[in-house]
Amino acid sequence: MRIGGHRPVDEPDINLIPLIDVILTLVIFFVVTATFEGRSALKLELPRATGENTQARDPLDVLVNADGRYFVEDREVLRDDGAALKATLAEVGGTDRDRPVMLRADARTPYQAVITAQEAIGQLGYRRILLAVATPSEKKAAR
């Protein structure tokens, strides 16, 4: 008497279709992320200024140091917000809005400080804003 009977033996097999789906999904994921990484690693070369300033009038100097502090001509702006800068510009610059404004900012100055200075100058009605840059000969002399 046989108790077990004749059952076919199940042989384990591996279904490859889900495995191929997962591998293709991973390949697509890595290709897309490698493309994003390449876009974020772009090298940016900033423009250089080699021309000379031929302004006939004496510009109003606005300086921004590396800490984001403002100076108008030889006066320091006590607060580092746009309202205080506008008040100092109006006091030092007078009523002549056709006078050019030379904005000088340190290379390590936070970008927001430069934008705040440009906004304040523009809101007062100055339309000629000059940005000071270092020429290649000035960069070599500073080293």
Q: Is residue 98 part of a domain?
A: yes
Return the CATH number at 97.
3.30.420.270
Q: Is residue 18 part of a domain?
A: no
* pLDDT in the model for residue 41: 45
Q: Which residues of 32-71 are buried (b: 16+ CB within 10 A; e: fewer)?
A: eeeeeeeeeeeeeeeeeeeeeeeeeeebbbbbbeeebbbb
Q: Is residue 74 part of a domain?
A: yes
Nearest Cα neighbor of 88 from 77, 96, 99 is 77
Q: Is residue 13 part of a domain?
A: no
The predicted-structure confidence for 63-116, as pLDDT tens digits, reads as follows 888 888 899 988 889 888 889 999 999 999 888 888 999 898 888 888 899 999
Q: Is residue 78 part of a domain?
A: yes
The domain of 92 spans 60-142
In what helix (H) or strand (E) does residue 39 lie, and over which residues does it extend?
A: helix 16-40
Mean pLDDT of 37-48: 45
**Structural domain count, the chain:** 1
* pLDDT in the model for residue 137: 58
Q: Is residue 23 part of a domain?
A: no
Say whether pTM exceeds 0.85: no
* pLDDT in the model for residue 120: 93
Q: Is residue 10 part of a domain?
A: no
Q: Is residue 38 part of a domain?
A: no
Per-residue pLDDT at 119 exceeds 90: yes
